[in-house]
Amino acid sequence: MNFLKEILRDNSKQQALRVAGWIGSDEDRFVELLQIFLHGDYREVQLSASSLGTYYDIHPEIVRKKIPQLVKRLNDEGTHIAVRRNILRILQCEKIPKRLHAYVLNKCFEYLQDPNETIAIRCFAMTILVNLAKVYPEIRNEVYGSIEISMKNSSAGLKARSKMVLKELEKLNQKL
């Protein structure tokens, strides 16, 4: 299989599943996908992002090893929105290495507070912030306030996620 050609062939869930299935548990093939995601041109990165997210759903244990590289990619200017969306989708389910907490925390606050950011990215950022608030109780009030502010004049999807994570924060505060 010409890996890059296959990624560029189609931007669909079926294609992402096909690519993820071809990689299987072969870490060398996964590294090939990761290299395209990290260093490809704009279109290659965009299309590899959905394959990466789909691959994570099947083999999280392999993707988990590369979290620092994924987090570093959040800092790249001008990347396709699919990059941020798929990285944050992964991070909301993972234990983020402690050395990356401050950086991820700041990026998530930035995404959450940006009214021009997509709903999916803002929702994933909320979940990550709540997960970090479990580790750092001192940020809970700031997370709570930022989520409440983001709810104003927002979509139904963002409001629904906000209510869910605010309840989770309230439960955490009751345990203190």
- Per-residue pLDDT, 1: 67
Burial class of 5 by CB neighbour count within 10 A (0 to 12, 13 to 18, 19+):
exposed
- Per-residue pLDDT, 5: 86
Residue in the block written with tokens 């999807």: 157
4 contacts 44 by C-beta, under 8 angstroms: yes
In this prediction, residues 124-140 reach a mean pLDDT of 96
Please provide the DSSP assignment of 113-136 as one string: H-TTS-HHHHHHHHHHHHHHHHH-
In this prediction, residues 99-116 reach a mean pLDDT of 96
Structure confidence by residue, pLDDT tens digits, 145-154: 999 998 887 8
Sign for the CA dihedral angle at 48, 13, 55, 57 comes to positive
The domain limits of the chain are 1-94, 107-176
114 contacts 146 by C-beta, under 8 angstroms: no
- Per-residue pLDDT, 117: 93
Helices (H) and strands (E) in the chain, counts: 11, 0
Q: Give the pLDDT band (50/70/90) at residue 113.
A: very high
64/3 Cα distance (integer angstroms) = 22
Residue in the block written with tokens 């608030």: 133
Residue in the block written with tokens 């560029």: 8
In this prediction, residues 118-147 reach a mean pLDDT of 95
Structure confidence by residue, pLDDT tens digits, 13-70: 898 899 999 999 999 999 999 999 999 998 899 889 999 999 999 999 999 999 999 9
In this prediction, residues 96-124 reach a mean pLDDT of 96
43/51 Cα distance (integer angstroms) = 13
The residues, ordered by sequence, that sit 6+ positions from 131 with a Cβ below 8 Å of its Cβ are 92, 96
Burial class of 77 by CB neighbour count within 10 A (0 to 12, 13 to 18, 19+):
exposed
- Per-residue pLDDT, 176: 62
